[in-house]
Structure 1
Amino acid sequence: MKSSKNIQINGQEVEIKKIQIGKFAELMLAVEKLPSIVTEVVSLEELENLNTELILTKLPTLIANAQDEVFKLVSVASGIEKVDELGFEEFIDVVTAVIELNNISAIVSKVKNLGKVFKAKVQ
């Protein structure tokens, strides 16, 4: 798996790097409020069945409610300080690069498994 990816932002090439474990605490602080904000707008069932209609109907409210938290999260994850100054397409390119580089779905799955292991050990 690649450790970085170059993308174009405002006509300049920017390197997005894989998130290092040392950034984990900062990343968790950046994401702390996000789950409750998201679930106020989108149900878990809707998230599991994400489609174009849902994105077009819920995304504006979600962005309005979670904008500052999302910017903070993407900034920490990408290393780009002023993500709020990016164009929409560039912002999506940054988010996509972060997700691709860090295999987010696999990490979520492994964390869920880890939680089950800890729970089994405690009981």
Structure 2
Amino acid sequence: MKNTKTITFNGKKETVTKIPLKRFGELAMALDGIQEVFIVDGQPLDINNETILEKAPYLLTQLTDTTIKFLSAATGFDKEVLEEAGLDDALSLIEAVLEINNIDLIIDKVKNLRKALVRK
């Protein structure tokens, strides 16, 4: 798994890196309450990169502030820069963040951790 990915964002080459642990709190605060987006008919969706990307347009239109806070925490980009980004650039950035941070694996590990904690 690569540690960086270079994308074109707002007409410039930008490098997306893995989210450092020191930004975990900021990332968690940015995502507070977002879980409701991933519940359909009272059941949680099977969340993976494809599901998140399918939901990305909804997230960007319905949860713009949350999306900007998330992307800022995940990338370190200034919120003001993200606010002015085009939809295509924002989706490319989301895709890069998910890919470089191996989100599928992280979600599986969190699910396993949750199961382990519930059993105790």
**TM-score bracket for the superposition, by shorter chain length:** 0.7 to 0.9
The verdict on how the C-alpha distance between 1:10 and 1:28 changes in structure 2, with shifts beyond 3 A counting, is same
SS at match of 2:66: helix
Could you tell me which runs of 5 or more consecutive residues in structure 1 were left unpaired when the two chains were aligned.
none
> Which of 77, 80, 92 is the matching residue for 1:80?
77
The answer to whether residue 64 in structure 2 is matched with residue 67 in structure 1 is yes
User: How far apart are residue 23 of structure 1 and its match?
Assistant: 1.0
TM-score in terms of structure 1 length: 0.77
Tell me, in whole angstroms, the C-alpha distance in 1 between the residues paired with 2:113 and 2:44: 25
Could you tell me which runs of 5 or more consecutive residues in structure 2 were left unpaired when the two chains were aligned.
none
Q: Which has the larger radius of gyration?
A: 1
Question: How many equivalent pairs are there?
Answer: 113
Which segments of structure 1 move beyond 6 Å, counting only runs of 4 or more? none
The verdict on how the C-alpha distance between 1:46 and 1:116 changes in structure 2, with shifts beyond 3 A counting, is closer
SS at match of 1:6: strand
SS at match of 2:63: helix
| TM-align CA RMSD | 2.7
The percent of aligned pairs where both chains have the same amino acid is 32
The answer to whether residue 9 in structure 2 is matched with residue 3 in structure 1 is no
Alignment of 1:1-123 (within 5 A): 1-36=1-36, 38-39=37-38, 43=40, 47-48=45-46, 59-60=57-58, 62-81=59-78, 82-121=81-120
Give the structure with the larger helix fraction: 1
Tell me, in whole angstroms, the C-alpha distance in 1 between the residues paired with 2:61 and 2:17: 27
User: How far apart are residue 46 of structure 1 and its match?
Assistant: 8.9
The verdict on how the C-alpha distance between 1:5 and 1:63 changes in structure 2, with shifts beyond 3 A counting, is closer
